[in-house]
Structure 1
Amino acid sequence: MIFVTVGTHEQPFNRLIKKIDELKKNGIITEEVIIQTGFSTYEPVYCRWEKLISYEQMKKNVEDARIVITHGGPASFIMPLQIGKTPIVVPRQCQYNEHVNDHQMEFARNVANRMGTIIPVEDINDLENIIKKYGEIVDKMDHGIYSNNEKFCKELKEIVEEIFEEDR
């Protein structure tokens, strides 16, 4: 199942919802799709949808989903990360009247670059290919999650090697 959420921002995010519905219609997406459409005005024809859902249902949908696609609001993609999912993040863009500015694009870029835990999609036309190759993309990602034990051992090894260098 693919779960899509556009959050609760009052401006519509029809661009994402229409694209997902189109991919489902054209058979690019063959599995079930559930969309939380928020205040969008487009009503999907080929996907299950609800305007707003409870937190409990949101969490269940994220847990059950193979792929989670969110807008660029941090609250929407933090939950999938906490559950162990790698979300596809499609930031709302000012040029399409989806938000008042492009802070979602900037934030998604920063999270992707610094943490490596999300798959940002700024060009909606890239979404089809990313969905098709989702598993491959996730497998190749550096998820930005590092073991403190691994870090400690690496630093300790460097200190020990440095001490032995000094003794020579």
Structure 2
Amino acid sequence: MILGTHELPFTRLLREVERLKKEGLIEDDIIVQSGHTKFETPHMKMIPFFNFEEMDKLFDEARLIITHAGTGSVITGLKKGKKVIAAPRLEKYGEHNDDHQLQLTGTFVEQEHILSWGDREDLLELIHLADAFNPKPFESKQQQMFSLLKQFIDES
């Protein structure tokens, strides 16, 4: 699970995952990149930050990625062909300064790349849905954008 590096806490997601783990509804080991969120639990391995190599290895080993809806975390999971449940940090809970993560998840859900957990969805149901979910492959448009910019510059 990935909470990112934002300075505001994201305990809402941790509490729900911990509840599911305590009730035996999640059997997998859970490793959490907790960032600045302080949360103590014997049910999950909490590590504030990983270096790139450690994080990359954990992405590779994960069966399912549950992450805050940060662009980097979501796209890394998609590029590695992982099933991703993104949980947008919400302003109304003091998890972020605004609700821009809702826009990100909305776009990725519309394009059938990810599943999304907000404040009304059942996380356990989403975890079960993820087993059968076949995300559409993600293709970055970055190279296409660079080519268009280069073409524009060359023609100027």
TM-score by length of 1: 0.77
From 69, 72, 75, the counterpart of 1:75: 72
Kindly report which structure 2 residues correspond to 1:112-127, keeping only aligned pairs within 5 A, or say none.
112-113=109-110, 115-123=111-119, 125-127=121-123
Once the 2 structures are TM-superposed, how far is the Cα of residue 117 of structure 1 from its aligned partner? 0.6
Q: Cα gap change, 1:135/1:81 in structure 2, threshold over 3 Å: closer, same or farther?
A: same
Question: What amino acid is aligned across from residue 7 of structure 1 in structure 2?
Answer: G
Partner of 1:130: 126
The unaligned stretches of length 5 or more in structure 2 are: 140-156
From 59, 74, 92, the counterpart of 1:95: 92
Question: What amino acid is aligned across from residue 71 of structure 2 in structure 1?
Answer: P
CA RMSD of aligned residues (A): 1.6
Partner of 1:149: none
Percent identity between the two aligned chains: 32
Contact kept, 8 Å, 1:88 with 1:118, in 2: the verdict is yes
Q: Cα gap change, 1:145/1:97 in structure 2, threshold over 3 Å: closer, same or farther?
A: closer
> Which has the larger displacement, 89-98 or 115-124?
115-124
CA deviation string 1:24-67 (max 9, x = no partner): 11101011111111111222320112011111111111110110
Stretches (4+) displaced over 3 A: none
The unaligned stretches of length 5 or more in structure 1 are: 147-168
Structure 1 position 110 matched with structure 2 position 100: no
Structure with the greater alpha carbon radius of gyration: 1
Aligned residues: 139
TM-score by length of 2: 0.83
Q: Cα gap change, 1:124/1:49 in structure 2, threshold over 3 Å: closer, same or farther?
A: farther
Contact kept, 8 Å, 1:21 with 1:45, in 2: the verdict is no
From 20, 33, 37, the counterpart of 1:36: 33
Once the 2 structures are TM-superposed, how far is the Cα of residue 118 of structure 1 from its aligned partner? 1.0
Once the 2 structures are TM-superposed, how far is the Cα of residue 116 of structure 1 from its aligned partner? 1.4
